Structure 1
Amino acid sequence: MNALGPSLQALLQEHILLMSFPVEKYSTSEVPFNPPFITPSLLIQILKLATQKFQEDPIVLNIKTPIYVIGDLHGHLFDLYRIFQKNGLPPEASYLF
């Protein structure tokens, strides 16, 4: 994770903190939901890292089980939080999106 750089590491830590609360508390406004703002430059950094990673991966992946196969989340961040809360964060749990 150190290869992510301080900005991405901080973003990840903010999301991990948000995931420490049950999602239902956000939907009832019991706990305020204030996701971190992603600056355009940080978004570009994320996209460049993702592009590089996808280019390095082979066309056919050899996947080790067990693995959770996740369909399209349609941008629902709370659904992603629920999945991670139930099954664990990578690398403890493996996911294919």
Structure 2
Amino acid sequence: MVGSFFTRCKNVVYEVSAGRAVLMDTAGHEMITLNPVGTSVWEQLVEPRRFEDLGDALSVAHPDVPRETIDTDVQAFLDEMIDAGLLERNAPG
């Protein structure tokens, strides 16, 4: 996961309401409501982002949370979004 870039799939539409993003693929097969932290990560993915960059931004926003916890949570979030067909992982280089 380290060094990989993550991008939103082009077939995803979303809307943020009350601090929570609702994601849906345009085929209507997947619909997910994110919590505020997930929404923050999703909004960072407006452009391709590295795993490390996502963790860095959350560490700044949540300095009381250990970096290991942030990295574990970001990895789980990214894996879930990839499995749902909402994100793509691109190898570095």
Range class of TM-score, shorter chain: under 0.3
| Structure with larger RCO (C-alpha < 8 A, sep 6+) | 2
The structure with more strand, counted as a fraction of residues: 2
TM (norm. structure 1) is: 0.27
